[in-house]
Amino acid sequence: MSLPRWPANSPIAKLMLAEDKLLRLTPEAETEAVVQRYTEFRELLWNVVESSPDPAPFTQAWNMINLYAKVDLLDFEQGNSGALARMQAKVKEAIQLLP
């Protein structure tokens, strides 16, 4: 099975790169780095939503990141290193929810 190819500067290609960067983080990562990667992913997901002619199909993916993954990020910031894995799982799920 071959993966879809997107133009390098397309919103979805940038989102996939941001996902990869976020998923490579380990619980030992600096909190600032985790926050930066989460924020980058969230902003790029919003760019994908905004560039779509119909944003409705993106609602579940957006909520997964903007609501649920954000809770895990806050938990990680409070010192719970296990919250990173939960946030990363939600990022993967959000990607799978994209139309």
How far apart, in whole angstroms, are the C-alpha atoms of residue 34 and residue 44? 15
Q: What is the pLDDT of residues 40-98, one digit of tens each?
A: 999 999 999 999 999 999 999 999 999 999 999 999 999 999 999 999 999 999 999 99
Length of the chain in terms of residues written: 99
Residue from 90, 87, 97 nearest 26 by CA: 87
Helix residue ranges, H only, the chain: 11-23, 31-51, 59-63, 70-77, 82-97
- The radius of gyration of the chain's CA atoms, rounded to the nearest angstrom, is 13
pTM of the model: 0.90
Q: Hey, what are 6's tokens?
A: 């997107």
